[in-house]
Structure 1
Amino acid sequence: MTAPSGGPLIPALVVDDDHAVAGIHTGFLLAHGAFEVVGAAHSGARALELVDELRPRLVLLDIHLPDMTGIDVLRALRNRPGEPLDVIAITAARELDTVRAAVAGGVLHYLVKPFSAAVLNQRLDSYVAYRRELHAHATDGTAALDQGRIDQLLRTTSGTGTGTGTATFVTPKGLSAPTLDAVVLDLRGHGGGTSASDVANRLGMARVSARRYLEFLVSQGRARIVPQYGSAGRPEKFYLWTEGPSA
């Protein structure tokens, strides 16, 4: 079967412990038009079985499962032989450690329930563009990619931004959507403000990288800077989450 764009349908597996929610996500994928839903699993063990049986390309993965966590499933998938699977986490889990583990496990996006159909469709559009880029690079006879083509591939992976909270961002070149999700969650969890150094320490990233993500949120009107004075009397930038773009 082919997608409306003329390419082959992308086989997808839906993993969610709630049968009704799994059905909703299946409907989203089918309505998009670029995907073939090859199966649905409601436990981690069944998900791993279906991956081996059905060979999906994409897994929509819940984190809260009855027998193991979605993070356990993600780690098992990453340890499988053969071509790596693409994973989009769709979950109510907002814990910082969970987000960090998902990002470290290589999820392409981390969507926090509830979210709108438009947000999910944006992520699916981004994923389809990513698959098109992969196919183009695989069929043009190029053995190795130059920096420009690598940058383009990464942009199509993370170019639709974050689904965390109420904001939807277009992530600029050089920023990762899952990492932005993690920074947003961390910032929202510290209502009194936080520094780039503290964000970096909690998320296990470089301070300069944390500051880039925080400054991007400021530029989007989703965070603001409040100077804080330390014991030496020197001001340090503290970042506060805001619920909407500043006027």
Structure 2
Amino acid sequence: MIRTLVVDDDYRVAKIHAAGIDRVPGFSCVGQAHSAAEARQAVADLAPELLLLDIYLPDEDGLAILRGLNSAGGAGPDCIVITAARDLETVRTAMHLGAVYYLVKPFGFAQLRDQLDAYRRWRQQTSGSGDADQATVDALYNLLKGPAVKSPPAAALPPTMQKILEAIQDAPRPIGASALAGQLGLSRPTAQRYLTELHRRGAIRLHLEYGRAGRPVHRYAMPDPGGHAPTKATTV
């Protein structure tokens, strides 16, 4: 198992990422940290092999953690940056400091899984000994890129709507606006607006869960293969 530490100031997002890590074969989330100080202590106490590292932390930024790992010497953990920071200076600095990849939020479980799988294959290929020719070096760099990105079709969905659709595809059960908002780093009203539009287009189906009292809870799932009507579940 690749021991992985999640570093994110948002407790809810960190929990989602931790759960996603545990769903990927070969990976285990050994802890969560929500500040630079907590991250440094967790690295010392838990000895993770990989960090999922946010840039925006309350006490220092994630780049400071990367700098510290580089200056400490020895075999520290590898790092995949997961952040909403999109400016090229931050991206360039993270690469310069040794981040093996840079995932821009929001992203769905499928994208996280693909990148973790790519990292696992890269580790396996670099764990041996001996010499590497140029073809081998090129192959190792290409592994870190993950699956090839396909060109979007002419009628592609807007990026945020596409991420919501992918998150629904990956969800093991019908999912609501609040859960999607937390997973993708959106506000709940924004998530609900895209869900309503996807439902209007027929891309997803509405799943109503009825409790003992009150209004039904709206959750969403992919359409049934046979085109059946939405399922209505009773929550006990």
After TM superposition, the score normalised by the length of structure 1 is 0.58
2:23 counterpart of 1:36? no
3-state DSSP of counterpart to 2:139 = helix
1:18 to 10, 13, 21: 10
Distance 2:138 2:38 in 1: 36
Unaligned runs of 5+ in 2: 150-157, 163-236
Which residue of the other structure, out of 143, 147, 157, is the alignment partner of 1:160?
Answer: 147
User: CA, structure 1 residues 159+24, in 2 after alignment: closer, same or farther (shift >3 Å)?
Assistant: closer
Residue of structure 1 in register with 2:124 after alignment: 132
One-letter amino acid matched to 2:48: P
Q: Is residue 120 from structure 1 mapped to residue 117 from structure 2 by the alignment?
A: no
Corresponding residue to 2:136 among 136, 149, 155:
149
Partner deviation per Cα, 1:150-189 (whole Å, 9 max, x = no partner): 2222221224367xx9499xxxxxxxxxxxxxxxxxxxxx
The CA deviation at 1:75 is 0.9
The 3-state SS of whatever aligns with 1:56 is coil
Q: What SS does the aligned partner of 1:158 have?
A: coil
Please tell me whether the aligned partners of residues 35 and 60 of structure 2 are also in contact (alpha carbons under 8 angstroms): yes
What is the CA-CA distance between 1:25 and the residue it aligns to?
Answer: 0.4
Q: Could you say what the CA RMSD is over the residues aligned between the two structures, in angstroms?
A: 2.1
Computing the radius of gyration from Cα coordinates, the structure with the larger value is 2
Per mean C-alpha deviation after superposition, the further-off stretch among 20-29 and 77-86 is 77-86
Residue aligned with 1:100, SS: helix
Asked whether the equivalents of residues 108 and 158 of structure 1 are also in contact (C-alpha less than 8 Å), the reply is no
Structure 2 letter corresponding to 1:112? V
Local SS of the residue matching 2:17? helix
What's 1:49 paired with? 41
| Structure 1 residue ranges without an equivalent (≥5) | 1-8, 169-247
Aligned pairs (5 A) from 1:59-98:
59-98=51-90
Question: Aligned in 2, Cα 1:153/1:84: closer, same or farther, shift over 3 Å?
Answer: farther
> What TM-score, normalized to structure 2?
0.60
Distance apart, 1:146 and its partner CA: 2.5
**1:41–1:47 Cα contact (<8 Å) kept:** yes
Query: Residue deviations 1:180-218, cap 9 Å, x none?
Result: xxxxxxxxxxxxxxxxxxxxxxxxxxxxxxxxxxxxxxx
Letter of the 2:132 partner, please give it.
L
In the TM superposition, residue 54 of structure 1 has moved relative to its aligned partner by 1.2
Output one character per residue of 1:3-51: Cα deviation in whole Å (capped at 9) or x when no partner.
xxxxxx0000100011111100001100112111111111001111111
